[in-house]
Amino acid sequence: MGAKKNMRARVAELRELIRLHDRKYYVDHLPEIADGEYDALMAELAGLEREHPELVTSDSPTRTVGGAPTEGFRTVEHAVPMLSLDNTYSPEELLAFDARVKKRLPDESVEYVVEPKLDGVSISLRYVNGRLDVAVTRGDGARGDDVTANVRTIKSVPLDLTGETAPATLEVRGEVFMSRSVFERLNRRRLKNEQAPFVNPRNAAAGSLKLRDPADVAKRHLRVFIYQVVGRVPPRVTTQSKAIKEMRTWGLPVIHNVTLASTIDDVVETCDEWDDRRRRLNYDIDGMVVKVNSLEQQERLGSTTKSPRWGIAFKFPAEVVRTVVRDIVVQVGRTGKLTPVAILEPVFVSGSTVSRATLHNSDEIERLDVRVGDTVEVEKGGEVIPKVVGVVKSTRTGSPQLFRMPGTCPMCGEPVARADGEVDTRCENESCPGRAMGRIEHFASRGAMDIQGLGTALVEQLVSEGLVADYGDLYGLTADDFAALPRMGERSAENLLAELEESKGRPLSRVLHGLGVRHVGATVAQVLAGTFAGMRELSAASEEELAAIDGIGPVIAASIRAFLGTSRNVEALRKLDDAGVNMRGEPGRRKTETALTGLTVVLTGSLARRTRDEAAAAIAEAGGRVSSSVSSKTDLVVAGKNPGSKHGKALELGVKVIDEAELERLLGTKERH
């Protein structure tokens, strides 16, 4: 009964999360999580719904396509719904797709086409009597926005179809996108005009397509590639590849680089080749789309309510690109840790421009032997911070200086220290402004108080303007304070104040996590909040009492006492209390229950944020068990980059596979308000 209730709650939570991220992606065009993370949420929801069909609703995100029509444009119903595509990330998953297709088409030979997956905005064009009648965005899949006036400004879109064979009435689908070169030029101009640059060409294309004035849209030089014809086609058009050729004779700008593949192995090889070839394109593709070539077979395979059974998207793994290190600077984190950061010649990686990458610590710099002026390889996967993975030594000219960690803190000028046997160099100055910024950012972060809108740039401003010195000061901020900040609109200020107000009610575990006590992460914070009636009781506990708590050892106990024994921390806590931040514990709750409690977990592939050992320790701390091989007893497989055979085994056995981002979520931010 209890488990059932939990599951119902989880299903509701997943739906809410997915809708939230749909909105950010499709409506705001400002995605917050990586595709892999989103897919993991969707996979978890689909899994739960499969096990419990009674919980399925017709409006569940598993049954619908994300997004909603935007206000201000006329809404148009799609005659045939515009579906989404299922995503895959590995050759094994492509094989599984092939197996599913063959199972529905026993004893038939199946040919595939592989097309680049353009990273733009999907569009449907309807021609009536050979004339462009209406252009509609995907919207929620059933209804989209009429953007005809804007699409008319795209040069390659014919207003009249040509060729004898063009059907009088026709609907085609494709992708509106922006070339990289146009994107770069647009962003340079925006920066010059002090406008915020677009994050990537897809967001730029999406934003441009929704401009009010078609004259402005024309200046954005959007492009379209058409990849699908909907409805009736001349009888000789029996395959997708023929359809593309045919559409070209009608004057439509069809997609380039379509490859025929007679086996799934050829498909895998083509996908693999394109992971490299795509770098030479002047536009972004984020994967390949694999489709059954025969239109008749496509029709028999059909679709689910969400996506066709005859096609699938293959998403590329994390991308590595080369660029030049312009400088190496040092950042100070909340614990005082000094992190060297490479300032890069901006480059395009995995859909966004990257201009900084972490170098972790001085040992890492030595290991890589990276120097200013070097050409380096930078990697970015999902939402992970970009990192330098190697130096291209052959391109080094002269003998650039080796980087040395400074002897003093770049933020406060106090001497820094590196303890014996530790890799990190630290600033020990408790009132270092660099540390204050880090602490505030941590306090506001998603896993802690989850104060949206309080990001790095704003925290930096608040601290350097002297408006706050610690997180304790956040709740004293007023609208007037914000008004004084450059680049802060009235609306954002209002939103932030509302966010701050709302955050006062977060559970004590989140407050404790946010304080930034060394060794007190989300899990320990939950143990503490589940043990004490409130902050006052916790503060009164001795080191021995703390160490006696299940899940808390002498090291953590000492760290907590040290934190509470420092007057500036006590002062910050008092400010939080005075501001009305929740200080009541939840001792009724079971102490160490986490999303991973009791689960057997297998790790495969490399993780970006933690070593295998660290990940295993964290899982164990959360009550899970890490095992080295996949069996039917495995509950969860965490697939990092380049996952090995364990991943295939998991798919074979139907064991749930999650990515690193999802693991982090389970470990850190399990509890959402």
Which residues are annotated as catalytic?
117
Residue of closest CB approach to ligand AMP? 122
Q: Does 409 bind Zn ion (CB under 5 A)?
A: yes
Residue 233: CB minimum distance to ligand AMP, A: 16
Residue 136: CB minimum distance to ligand AMP, A: 13
Q: Considering only 286-294, 420-428, 467-475, 618-626, which stretch makes contact with Zn ion by CB under 5 A?
A: 420-428
Nearest C-alpha neighbor of 328 from the set 384, 432, 437, 405 = 405
Residue 424: CB minimum distance to Zn ion, A: 14
Residue 358: CB minimum distance to ligand AMP, A: 29
Q: Does 22 bind ligand AMP (CB under 6 A)?
A: no
Sheet holding 311-315, edge to edge: 87-88, 311-315, 285-292, 112-118, 259-261
Nearest C-alpha neighbor of 172 from the set 243, 223, 86 = 243
Q: Does 113 bind ligand AMP (CB under 6 A)?
A: no
471 to 530, contacts with ligand AMP by CB under 6 A? none
Nearest C-alpha neighbor of 374 from the set 357, 353, 386 = 357
Nearest C-alpha neighbor of 94 from the set 667, 673, 647 = 647
Q: Does 118 bind ligand AMP (CB under 6 A)?
A: yes
Q: Does 429 bind Zn ion (CB under 5 A)?
A: yes
Radius of gyration of the chain measured on its C-alpha atoms: 27
Q: What angle do CA 121, 127, 128 make, to 5 degrees?
A: 150
Q: Phi/psi at 66 (nearest 5 deg)?
A: -65, 175
7 to 46, contacts with Zn ion by CB under 5 A? none
Q: Phi/psi at 233 (nearest 5 deg)?
A: -130, 160
Q: Does 427 bind Zn ion (CB under 5 A)?
A: yes
Residue 407: CB minimum distance to ligand AMP, A: 50
Residue 255: CB minimum distance to ligand AMP, A: 6
Q: 540: Cβ–Cβ under 8 A, 6 or more apart, which residues?
A: none
Give the integer Cα–Cα distance in Å for 263 and 266.
Answer: 5
Q: Determine the length of the chain.
A: 673
Q: Phi/psi at 659 (nearest 5 deg)?
A: -100, 180
How big is the site for Zn ion, counted in residues (CB under 5 A)? Answer: 6
Q: Are 624 and 598 in contact (CB under 8 A)?
A: yes
Q: For ligand AMP, which is the closer residue by CB, 90 or 122?
A: 122
Q: Which does 15 bind (CB under 5 to 8 A by kind): ligand AMP, Zn ion, none?
A: none
Pairing of strands 375-380, 319-332: antiparallel
Q: Are 133 and 160 in contact (CB under 8 A)?
A: no
Q: Which does 313 bind (CB under 5 to 8 A by kind): ligand AMP, Zn ion, none?
A: ligand AMP
Q: For ligand AMP, which is the closer residue by CB, 115 or 424?
A: 115
Q: Residue with structure tokens 């990276």? A: 370
Give the integer Cα–Cα distance in Å for 603 and 649.
Answer: 12
595 to 634, contacts with Zn ion by CB under 5 A? none
Q: Which does 115 bind (CB under 5 to 8 A by kind): ligand AMP, Zn ion, none?
A: ligand AMP
122 to 151, contacts with Zn ion by CB under 5 A? none
Q: Phi/psi at 370 (nearest 5 deg)?
A: -95, 135
Binding mask 73-112 for ligand AMP (x = CB under 6 A): -----------xx---------------------------
Nearest C-alpha neighbor of 124 from the set 72, 78, 68, 55 = 78
231 to 260, contacts with ligand AMP by CB under 6 A? 255
273 to 332, contacts with ligand AMP by CB under 6 A? 289, 313
Q: Does 541 bind Zn ion (CB under 5 A)?
A: no
Q: Considering only 90-98, 128-136, 368-376, 430-438, which stretch makes contact with Zn ion by CB under 5 A?
A: 430-438
33 SS3 class: coil
Q: Which does 558 bind (CB under 5 to 8 A by kind): Zn ion, ligand AMP, none?
A: none
Residue 38: CB minimum distance to ligand AMP, A: 9
Q: Does 115 bind ligand AMP (CB under 6 A)?
A: yes
Q: Which does 113 bind (CB under 5 to 8 A by kind): Zn ion, ligand AMP, none?
A: none
Give the integer Cα–Cα distance in Å for 211 and 226.
Answer: 22
The residue type of 44 is E
Structure tokens at 79: 């005659």
Give the integer Cα–Cα distance in Å for 15 and 58.
Answer: 12
Binding mask 169-198 for ligand AMP (x = CB under 6 A): ------x-----------------------
Q: Does 148 bind ligand AMP (CB under 6 A)?
A: no
Q: For ligand AMP, which is the closer residue by CB, 312 or 432?
A: 312
Number of helices and strands in the chain (H, E): 24, 22
The residues binding ligand AMP (CB under 6 A) are 84-85, 115, 117-118, 122, 138, 175, 227, 255, 289, 313
The residues binding Zn ion (CB under 5 A) are 409, 411-412, 427, 429, 432
